[in-house]
Amino acid sequence: MNCQIFNVTRTHLKLWCCLIFGLFVSSTPSASFASPSNLVVVVNQDNDIRGLSKKEVIDIYMGRFQSFPNGQPAKPVDFPAETEVKSDFYTLLVNQSESRIQSYWSRLYFSGRAQPPHQSKSVDEVILRVTKDVSTLAYIPAEHVTNDMRVVFAF
């Protein structure tokens, strides 16, 4: 059936609908605080560590090791619960939801085997901890990296 007013066939109408829908979807802003390519893991600039593998970051953040590969103490810092950056980090790091990570840490904590990472209140607090303590390890959006930090891992 043709529309008499616009002289448009069904095929043309479908194509226009797909085009409009595609433009709408591609122009919708991302709701995520940190995209996968945006998150980095950092240490203080004075830390001897030049880089970490994903496995080493996992080992520290999941409580398997309390030190960097060179033996220096590592103090991982986490973002507050239920923030997008924390959720994105653990999804990228170990492909687990935040609730699964909380459950994991509950088991370790109550068994006395490990302490969870220190939970900060904001990006600013994370930045302050990294710039003041050479042992701190943190993940932050790349745009927050300062000259007082060194990126040791990027997703």
Q: Are residues 53 and 105 in the same domain?
A: yes
Give CA–CA dist 155/57, Å, rounded: 11
Helix, strand or coil, per DSSP, at residue 137: strand
Q: Which amino acid is at 141?
A: P
CATH of the domain at 139: 3.40.190.10
| Average pLDDT of span 63-72 | 95
Q: Are residues 79 and 96 in the same domain?
A: yes
Q: Are residues 26 and 44 in the same domain?
A: no
pLDDT at 1: 52
Q: Are residues 5 and 24 in the same domain?
A: yes
Helix, strand or coil, per DSSP, at residue 9: coil
| Average pLDDT of span 16-33 | 39
Q: Are residues 54 and 79 in the same domain?
A: yes
Q: Are residues 5 and 79 in the same domain?
A: no
Q: In the structure, what pLDDT confidence band is assigned to residue 27 with cuts at 50, 70 and 90? A: very low
Which whole-number Å values give the CA distances from 8 to 3, 5, 23, 126, in the listed order?
5, 8, 21, 58
Say yes or no to pLDDT of 54 above 70: yes
Q: Are residues 54 and 104 in the same domain?
A: yes
pLDDT in tens, 80-107: 989 999 999 999 999 999 999 999 999 8
Say yes or no to pLDDT of 20 above 70: no
pTM: 0.74
| Average pLDDT of span 61-68 | 95
Q: Which amino acid is at 12?
A: H
pLDDT at 109: 84
Q: In the structure, what pLDDT confidence band is assigned to residue 37 with cuts at 50, 70 and 90? A: low
Q: Are residues 107 and 149 in the same domain?
A: yes
Give CA–CA dist 75/98, Å, rounded: 20
Q: Are residues 24 and 43 in the same domain?
A: no
pLDDT at 65: 95
Number of domains in the chain: 2
pLDDT in tens, 105-147: 998 888 887 889 999 999 899 999 999 999 999 999 999 999 9
Residue 25: strand pairing partners: none
Q: Are residues 59 and 95 in the same domain?
A: yes
Host domain of residue 82: 39-154
Q: Are residues 11 and 58 in the same domain?
A: no
Q: Are residues 48 and 10 in the same domain?
A: no
pLDDT at 112: 81
